[in-house]
A and B are shown apart, each in its own frame.
Chain A
Amino acid sequence: MSEALHYASHTLQEVALVFMAVVYTLRLFWIFRRFPVGKERQAPSGTRGSVMPRASILHSWFNVAQPWAMESSRRNLFLYIQFVIFHLGVVAAIALSFVIPYGPGLLESAALVKTIQVLCFSAFLVAVIRIFRRLGSAHMRAISTPDDHFSLLLLTVWFLFAGLAAPNNYAGGETVLMIYFWMTAFFLVYVPFSKISHYLYYPFTRFYLGKTLGRRGVFPIVRG
């Protein structure tokens, strides 16, 4: 492994990670300080019986794993499957950025390499579909920002290079690994300022929705 690749896979990643952690910490600090929360005075309601806040909040948080819970997922199972594949690809590509520098021995397992590659390449295909959807639909274009387009494009390319980098075969050429690690570092710096940081807010939004609608006996939604 060249010094440049070692730098890209170690020091560069660590600096970028620390940067991201600092920005996220500041961001969370800002959210807690800047935006107050009102006091809930409403007595529990709902003729089915109010759900305990904790249960309802948990239900709301795990909504993402319950495609039957929302009509928008039930009616668009293909989109839901895309969502699952896309995010499994994200997990695989992120995990790879830790495995290569800190546990390269794990990649001696051909099964693990294949799994990461299947996930990353599948996510790449889904990302391509998503690009076509975002650009091809007038409805999607109307709600898209340059950040939306750029983030999707960036992830698409990143999935591709993560899949190619998975065998960690630097002896055969370092270009793929270098691109993958430099892209990962860029990601870590860019993500806190882009839509990709939505996972930081997900716990908040679903917490409040779950708490409010659970107290009112709406969550979990009952269908007749």
Chain B
Amino acid sequence: MAKERSHRATKVLERLEQKVNRQIATSLMACVHCGNCSESCHYVLANPDDPTYQPSYKADQLRKLFKRHIDWTGRVIPWWVKAKSVYTDEELEALKDVVFGKCTNCRRCSINCPMGVDHATFNRMARGLLVAVGIMPEGVSVVSKDQWEIGNQMGVLKEDYLDTLEWMEEELQDELGTTEVRIPVDKEDADVVYSINPREVKYDPRTIAEAAKIFYMAGENWTMPSEGWDMTNFGLFSGDDDLGGAVARRLFEKVDDLRGKKLVISECGHGYRSTRCEGPNWGKRDVPFVMESSVDTMLRYIKEGKIKVDKTKNTEPVTFHDSCNNARSCGLYEAPRELLGHVVTDFTEMYPNRAENYCCTGGGGAMSMSEYTPERLKSAKVKADQLKATGARVVVTSCHNCVDGLTDLIRHYKLDMKVTQLVNLVANALVVDELPAAVPADEAAAEALALPLAGKTVLVVDDEPDIRVFFASVLEDNGATVLEAADGDEAIELVRREKPDLVTLDLNMPGRDGGQVFEAIRKDEELAATRICIVTGRPELRRLIYDRPVPPPEGYLDKPVDEETLLRNARKILELT
């Protein structure tokens, strides 16, 4: 009797038949299982005893389906070539753990395969097959939904985006002492249309202000679009070409509407690749305007004398991390180095580098898949060793994803480093002829004391680096001293050692979860009085707290949390007026 196949498995196989193009088909046929790709993968290097991390092993999980249903030998004598079909949703879930959880699509194995098998390309295709039937990590589902429905991958509302631009414009005007500096929105016929990563709006708005400062100093005729401003594209990570095409078209059409001459893409590896390289193919349209990375733009301004920079303003020892999407998939690796040469005094190369660099381990959407965080951080040992060997104090990268990935591994491996981007360094090195007088030190101290959370210490506990960065920036901007922990054990250790005034505690974390941390703190006589605010994206998990035989927490917050809500709750819990 024929084995029954689930609806999803049937759909996956149908879609496989449609999606395989010539490059992928020959890649699937060509592998000789020589094993040469293995040592190029950071997952293999960090898990030397586990053969299931090998690129060719992972690729075989899709290859066996291709051989069983499309190729010749596998259809006749499947066992001879390990061809195998898929029948159940459980098997698809297992495939999901391989293609999402054991590979960041960094493409390092592809360039190290003697046969030219592009593993990363068909790993992405395998992701797309699963996503099409609704099998994907929860984070991928949430982000994709936001990008489909709201228009950007972090669900930033239009009013919040415009408010942030206005806020940054005011900050910049204060800094430069002139109202002439603007962040123009929807200006038609601009020479440059500037697109950004929603992470900049949500967690790192200073990069928008810094870019605006550079455009202003260069005398650029530029604008930002009110819609279609997100240059990131989760279609690259999810393997969903339909999403990839829709996002790319949204961006291109906005530039068309504004009659922009050039689309400048802020520093983001996957955004650059999705927009500049893959977007026209996914969107199935030719793009009439020029597209370039902001790295190229900033470098050109310096070379053309449009901006002046003073490298002595950035004197800390610096190294550079090449984003996989920028360097290995788009060839963007010399411009960042040339730019660094203009804006820092002490640069050390990281080895290997450029197209051969190792992944930050946060690529391929890995930062949004918290269920695979332990594996990701284990594999990050390779990157941590690479960073440590440079002896640098600052690692520069041109990718928001890498910023988060590197920040996370630096904390995990306790490296004494910080992460920054080129726009931060260029803005800092800018020579501005007339700056408003510096605020006197005692006045600055008085200003700091006037901030609502001044003098308070807050511990932010969350396994999502994005959330930690956001909370930390909001709380620090309001005067708090912020400590961060990425897991439960680290949180308890910090509570014991630092006695924070407030702990914001994520519930859903790998290892010891927020509920266990909460109970441990409450049961410890010395720590029991610590004020705790539970933060969760899944309100149903609150029962984990109510069920515990200890006094309840002082506050709750549901994700997503905006700046105002966070601040209001923090003040309320800390009883600050």
* In-complex Cβ contact of B331 among A34, A35, A48, A144 (8 A): A48
Which residues of chain A come closer than 8 Å to B56, judged between CB atoms? 143
Residues of A within 8 A of B112 (CB): 70-72
A78 within 8 A of B: no
Do A202 and B51 touch across chains, with their CB atoms under 8 A apart? no
Contact A147 B80 (CB under 8 A): yes
B115 touches A45 (CB 8 A): no
Chain B positions within 8 Å of A170 at CB level: none
Contact B22 A36 (CB under 8 A): yes
Q: Which of B39, B276, B277, B286 contacts A75 (CB 8 A)?
A: B39
Contacts of B60 in A (CB 8 A): 143
- Cα A213 to Cα B23 in complex, Å, equals 13
Q: How far is the CA of A148 from the CA of B73 in the complex (A)?
A: 13
When C-beta atoms are compared, the residue in chain A nearest to B292 turns out to be: A45
User: Do A35 and B20 touch across chains, with their CB atoms under 8 A apart?
Assistant: yes
B281 at the interface (CB under 8 A from A): yes
Whether B54 and A193, one on each chain, are in contact in the complex, defined by CB atoms closer than 8 angstroms, is no
B274 to chain A, nearest CB (A): 11
For A37, the chain B residues whose CB sits under 8 A away are: 21-23
For B111, B117, B280, B354, the residue with the greatest tally of chain A CB atoms inside 10 Å of its CB is B111
Indicate if the CB atoms of A64 and B114 lie closer than 8 Å: yes
User: Are A41 and B22 in contact, with the CB atoms below 8 A?
Assistant: no
Taking the closest CB of chain A, its distance from the CB of B442, in whole angstroms, is 47
Q: Sort chain A's interface into a size bin.
A: 35 or more
Tell me if A142 and B116 are in contact (CB < 8 A).
Answer: no
* Residue B249 lies at the interface, judged by CB distance under 8 Å to chain A: no
B:244-293 near A, CB below 8 Å: 276-278, 280-281, 284-287, 290-291
| Cα separation A34 to B349 with both chains bound (whole Å) | 46
B546 contacts partner chain A, Cβ-Cβ < 8 Å: no
Residues on B with beta carbons closer than 8 Å to the beta carbon of A208: 22-23, 26, 116, 118
Q: Is A145 an interface residue (CB 8 A)?
A: yes
Is the C-beta of B310 less than 8 angstroms from some C-beta in chain A? no
Please tell me if the beta carbons of A148 and B331 are within 8 angstroms of each other in the complex: no
B111 touches A145 (CB 8 A): no
Contact flag A201-B115 (CB < 8 Å), given A47-B332, A145-B81, A218-B355? yes
Cβ of B33 under 8 Å from chain A: yes
The answer to whether B116 touches A148, judged by C-beta atoms less than 8 angstroms apart, is no
Bound-complex Cα distance A38 to B245 (A): 14
Using known A-B contacts A71-B112, A139-B51, A205-B27, determine if residue A144 contacts B33 with beta carbons closer than 8 Å.
Answer: yes
Contact assessment for A50 and B331 in the assembled complex, using a CB-CB cutoff below 8 Å: yes
Give the CA-CA distance A153 to B21 in the complex, in Å: 33
Assembly CA distance A213 to B25 (angstroms):
18
B334 within 8 A of A: yes
Q: How many angstroms from the CA of A39 to the CA of B21 in the assembled complex?
A: 11
Q: Is B352 in the interface zone, CB < 8 Å from A?
A: yes
Interface string of A130-169 (1 = CB under 8 A from B): 0000000111111111111000000000000000000000
**A-side contacts of B328, CB under 8 Å:** 218
A residues less than 8 Å from B27 (CB atoms) = 205
Q: Which chain B residues lie closer than 8 Å to A79 at the CB level? A: 36
Cα–Cα distance between A201 and B24 once the two chains are bound (Å): 11
A37 and B20 alpha carbons, distance in the complex (Å): 10
- When the two chains form their complex, are residues B330 and A218 in contact, meaning their CB atoms are under 8 A apart? yes
- A30-65 contact mask (Cβ, 8 Å, vs B): 1 or 0: 011011111111110111101000000000100110
Q: Is the CB of B37 within 8 A of A72?
A: yes
Of all chain B residues, the one with the shortest Cβ separation from A61 is B116
Contact of A205 among B30, B352, B355 (CB under 8 A): B30
CA distance A46 to B331 in the complex (A): 4
User: How distant is the Cα of A177 from the Cα of B32 in the complex, in angstroms?
Assistant: 29
Residues of A within 8 A of B116 (CB): 60, 63, 202, 205-206, 208-210
Tell me which of B31, B82, B281 contacts A40 (CB under 8 A).
B281
Inter-chain contacts of A73 with B (CB < 8 A): 36, 114
| Residues A142 and B51 in contact, CB atoms below 8 Å apart | yes
Residues of chain B within 8 A of A138, CB atoms compared: 49, 51
A186 in the interface (beta carbon within 8 A) = no
Q: Does A2 contact B (CB under 8 A)?
A: no
Rounded to whole angstroms, the CA-CA distance of A75 and B118 in the bound complex is 20
User: Considering the chains assembled together, what is the distance between the CA atoms of A80 and B238 in angstroms?
Assistant: 36
Do the beta carbons of B35 and A140 come within 8 Å of each other? yes
Q: Is B536 an interface residue (CB 8 A)?
A: no
| Pair A70/B111 contact, Cβ less than 8 Å | yes
Is the pair A46, B354 in contact by a Cβ cutoff of 8 Å?
A: no
CA distance A140 to B330 in the complex (A): 32
Alpha-carbon distance A47/B333, docked complex (angstroms) = 7
Chain B positions 210 through 235: 1 when the CB is less than 8 Å from some CB of chain A, otherwise 0 = 00000000000000000000000000
The answer for the CA separation of A205 and B334 in the assembled complex, in Å, is 27
Q: How far is the CA of A131 from the CA of B184 in the complex (A)?
A: 67
How many angstroms from the CA of A216 to the CA of B333 in the assembled complex? 11
A38 touches B118 (CB 8 A): no
Q: Which of B22, B52, B280 contacts A42 (CB 8 A)?
A: B280
Complex Cα spacing A46 to B57, Å: 31
Report if A43-B33 is in contact (Cβ < 8 Å); known contacts: A71-B40, A205-B115: no
Instruction: List residues of chain A with CB within 8 A of the CB of B24.
Output: 35
CA distance A40 to B328 in the complex (A): 18
Q: Mark contacts of B327-352 with chain A using CB atoms, 8 A cut-off: 1 yes-contact digit, 0 otherwise.
A: 11111111101000000000001011
Q: Is B29 an interface residue (CB 8 A)?
A: yes
- Kindly state the separation between the CA atoms of A70 and B113 in the bound complex, as whole angstroms: 8
Known interface pairs A72-B112, A223-B354, A224-B353; A42-B276 also in contact (CB < 8 Å): yes
**Which residues of A approach B to under 8 Å, CB–CB?**
27, 31-32, 34-43, 45-48, 50, 60, 63-64, 70-73, 75-76, 79, 83, 137-148, 193-195, 198, 201-202, 204-206, 208-210, 213, 216-218, 221-224
Q: Which 6 A-B pairs have the closest CB atoms?
A: A46-B331, A217-B331, A142-B51, A206-B116, A201-B30, A41-B280
A-B contact pairs, 12 of them (CB 8 A): A31-B22, A35-B22, A41-B281, A45-B276, A47-B333, A64-B114, A70-B114, A72-B40, A73-B36, A140-B35, A147-B73, A148-B33
